[in-house]
């Protein structure tokens, strides 16, 4: 049987994972990446002894298939567990850093919810399940209906701001948090579902691990890419993809030296961000208008600031993961990670690193501030909340003009458009975070594209 040639566009976590999957099935795989290194949004930089992650800071290892994938490609043994203190999370309420409860007793004594808010939360098992699961429901309506307004304001809102840089009103429940959607479908109650182990219990590991790597999260795609037989073509620009009558695909590209080349493939897997699909000329494909539909994902702008201090400058114990900021608190940052508490080697000895998030869907204009104003904003917010003395000894920032694709009301149309393109054009697969979902396990363990119908 003739060896199939597969072209994978994009060397982020999704692209590398799909390339490995195709390689494991006996295909000859070539990966093209426009940047000079693999990783996509997973970028890690060591600057002046501070280790910075521009994308995801952690991987939540909770599924057996994720663990099996990492073991198969000899990545598992390189995982670094987060510090035990990081099980402690904080939110801001009344301009104070409040610890979130970790047990039933701490729930009763915690001030993160009022007595009435706690009472409303405890009523969740007695709330009737939704009658029409076919109708899309946003995360805000779901939380209000099942858990109450105060949980929406002081739990769901900051949580979603921290994960998606978005708001609960924008995200569609079944796409953003499918496990919650299934819990209500199956059990009629989130609490009852959790007591019974949730949905798909056999797929989960006995204990969730929060992990990263010694050199930061970019080490994950780098180690995976090292398992490819063919090296990734870096600094390559895909110019045109042409569908040929004999069922093949002709790919036109510029290599790292600017030389124009072309090559034939039997299959195309495109994992680039949705907003970059229009940079490629697609010739002779059926239903080309659907590419515009797939590209309609909303990516809010996001800025990250990295501030380094001597440990003695900060009064707060920094004994946790970090804090998130509810929108009702009217502050100018979405939250701050205590990066040097999370993992070792994130800062020089006797120093600490704070990573703050600015902008997103909540305040998109703030992400466009000049560097000095952005740093000053993040510093002033953290200074008040964490009781910081003096000024930072290290300052850095990263701007994502288009950050995480949102699982919003356009998601259903994007998935349908990608499915139709696949059916109408044999060998064409449009995948990536805007189709499969942004969580890293979704990108890491390839599935049959039909699963995303």
Q: Which pLDDT score is estimated for 452?
A: 41
Kindly state whether residues 419 and 293 are assigned to the same domain: yes
Kindly state whether residues 229 and 197 are assigned to the same domain: no
| Cα–Cα nearest to 447, from 14, 10, 6 | 14
pLDDT reading at 258 higher than 90: yes
Within a domain: residue 193? Answer: yes
pLDDT reading at 203 higher than 90: no
Work out the pLDDT band at 1, boundaries 50, 70, 90.
low
Within a domain: residue 124? Answer: yes
Q: Which pLDDT score is estimated for 202?
A: 82
Within a domain: residue 75? Answer: no
Mean pLDDT, all residues of the chain: 94
Q: Which helix (H) or strand (E) holds 149?
A: helix 149-151
Domain limits for position 173: 101-201
**11: exposed, middle or buried (C-beta count within 10 Å: 0-12, 13-18, 19+)?**
buried
Within a domain: residue 231? Answer: yes
Kindly state whether residues 29 and 160 are assigned to the same domain: no
Work out the pLDDT band at 21, boundaries 50, 70, 90.
very high
Give Cα 390 distance to the centre of its chain: 33
Q: Which pLDDT score is estimated for 364?
A: 96
Beta strand 5-9 with 28-32: parallel, antiparallel or unpaired? parallel
pLDDT per position as a tens digit, 82-101: 999 888 999 999 999 999 99
Work out the pLDDT band at 446, boundaries 50, 70, 90.
low
pLDDT per position as a tens digit, 45-72: 999 999 999 999 999 999 999 999 999 9
| Cα–Cα nearest to 382, from 318, 300, 301 | 318
Beta strand 79-81 with 28-32: parallel, antiparallel or unpaired? unpaired
pLDDT reading at 451 higher than 60: no
Residue 291: what are its φ and ψ, rounded to 5°?
-60, -35
pLDDT reading at 233 higher than 50: yes
Residues 430-441 have a mean pLDDT of 91
Kindly state whether residues 113 and 236 are assigned to the same domain: no
Within a domain: residue 33? Answer: yes
Distance CA 387, CA 382 (A): 8
pLDDT reading at 221 higher than 70: yes
Contact predicate 310/351, CB 8 Å: yes
The total domain count for the chain is 2
Q: Which pLDDT score is estimated for 41?
A: 96
Kindly state whether residues 107 and 194 are assigned to the same domain: yes
Q: Which pLDDT score is estimated for 447?
A: 54
Enter the tokens of residue 374. Answer: 């952005």
Residues 176-202 have a mean pLDDT of 90
> What residue ranges in 247-348 does DSSP mark as E strands?
249-254, 260-265, 267-270, 281-283, 302-310, 322-324, 335-338
**434: exposed, middle or buried (C-beta count within 10 Å: 0-12, 13-18, 19+)?**
buried
Q: Which pLDDT score is estimated for 200?
A: 78
Kindly state whether residues 291 and 412 are assigned to the same domain: yes
Angle at 446 between CA 252 and CA 337, to 5 degrees: 100
Share of the chain above pLDDT 90, in %: 88
Within a domain: residue 270? Answer: yes
Contact predicate 443/17, CB 8 Å: yes
Within a domain: residue 363? Answer: no
* CATH number of the domain to which 149 belongs: 1.10.3110.10
Distance CA 92, CA 325 (A): 5
Share of the chain above pLDDT 70, in %: 98
Q: Which pLDDT score is estimated for 449?
A: 46
Kindly state whether residues 190 and 239 are assigned to the same domain: no
Residue 237: what are its φ and ψ, rounded to 5°?
-110, 120
Kindly state whether residues 249 and 172 are assigned to the same domain: no
Enter the tokens of residue 399. Answer: 């701007």
Residue 252 in 3-state DSSP? strand
Work out the pLDDT band at 214, boundaries 50, 70, 90.
very high
Residues 20-31 have a mean pLDDT of 96
Work out the pLDDT band at 105, boundaries 50, 70, 90.
confident
Kindly state whether residues 196 and 152 are assigned to the same domain: yes
Kindly state whether residues 410 and 293 are assigned to the same domain: yes
Indicate the residue among 153, 169, 201 that finishes a domain. 201
User: What is the pTM (predicted TM-score) of this model?
Assistant: 0.94
Tokens 């919650």 sit on residue: 180
Kindly state whether residues 141 and 275 are assigned to the same domain: no
Distance CA 41, CA 39 (A): 6
* CATH number of the domain to which 236 belongs: 3.50.50.60
Q: Which of 103-107, 201-205, 307-311 has the highest mean pLDDT?
A: 307-311
Distance CA 446, CA 431 (A): 10
Work out the pLDDT band at 2, boundaries 50, 70, 90.
confident
pLDDT reading at 107 higher than 90: no
Within a domain: residue 60? Answer: no
pLDDT reading at 289 higher than 80: yes
Kindly state whether residues 241 and 278 are assigned to the same domain: yes
Total Cβ atoms within 10 A of residue 374: 22
């Amino acid at each position: 049987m003739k060896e199939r040639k597969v072209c994978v566009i994009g060397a982020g976590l999704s692209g590398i994972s799909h390339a490995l999957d195709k390689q494991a099935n006996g295909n000859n795989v070539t990966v093209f990446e426009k940047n000079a290194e693999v990783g996509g949004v997973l970028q890690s930089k060591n600057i002046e002894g501070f280790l910075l992650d521009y994308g995801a800071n952690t991987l939540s290892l909770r599924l057996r298939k994720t663990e099996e994938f990492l073991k198969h490609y000899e990545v598992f043994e390189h995982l670094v567990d987060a510090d035990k203190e990081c099980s402690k999370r904080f939110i801001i309420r009344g301009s104070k850093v409040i610890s979130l409860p970790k047990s039933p007793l701490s729930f009763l004594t915690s001030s993160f919810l009022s007595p009435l808010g706690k009472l409303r939360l405890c009523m969740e098992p007695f709330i009737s399940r939704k009658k029409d699961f076919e109708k899309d429901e946003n995360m805000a309506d779901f939380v209000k209906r099942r858990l109450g307004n105060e949980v929406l304001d002081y739990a769901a809102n900051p949580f979603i701001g921290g994960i998606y840089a978005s708001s609960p009103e924008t995200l569609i429940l079944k796409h953003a948090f499918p496990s919650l959607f299934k819990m209500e479908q199956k059990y009629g109650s989130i609490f009852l579902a959790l007591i019974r182990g949730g949905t798909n219990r056999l797929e989960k590991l006995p204990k969730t691990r929060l992990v990263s790597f010694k050199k930061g999260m970019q080490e994950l795609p780098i180690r995976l890419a090292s398992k490819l037989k063919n090296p990734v073509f870096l600094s390559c620009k895909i110019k045109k993809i042409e569908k040929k009558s004999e069922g093949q695909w002709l790919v036109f590209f510029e290599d790292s030296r600017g030389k124009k080349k072309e090559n034939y493939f039997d299959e195309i897997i495109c994992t680039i961000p949705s907003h970059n699909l229009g940079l490629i000329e697609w010739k002779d494909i059926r239903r080309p208008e659907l590419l515009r539909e797939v590209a309609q994902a909303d990516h809010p702008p996001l800025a990250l600031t990295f501030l380094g201090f001597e440990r003695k400058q900060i009064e707060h114990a920094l004994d946790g993961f970090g804090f998130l900021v509810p929108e009702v608190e009217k502050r100018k940052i979405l939250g701050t990670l205590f990066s040097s508490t999370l993992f070792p080697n994130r800062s020089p000895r006797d120093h600490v690193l704070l990573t703050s998030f600015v902008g997103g869907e909540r305040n998109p204009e703030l992400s466009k501030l000049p560097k000095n104003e952005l740093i000053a904003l993040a510093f002033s917010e953290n200074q008040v909340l964490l009781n910081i003395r003096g000024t930072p000894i290290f300052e850095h920032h990263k701007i994502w003009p288009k950050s995480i694709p949102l699982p919003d009301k356009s998601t259903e149309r994007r998935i349908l458009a990608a499915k139709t393109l696949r059916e109408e054009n044999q060998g064409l697969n449009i995948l990536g975070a805007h189709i499969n979902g942004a969580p890293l396990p979704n990108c890491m363990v390839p599935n049959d594209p039909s699963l995303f119908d």
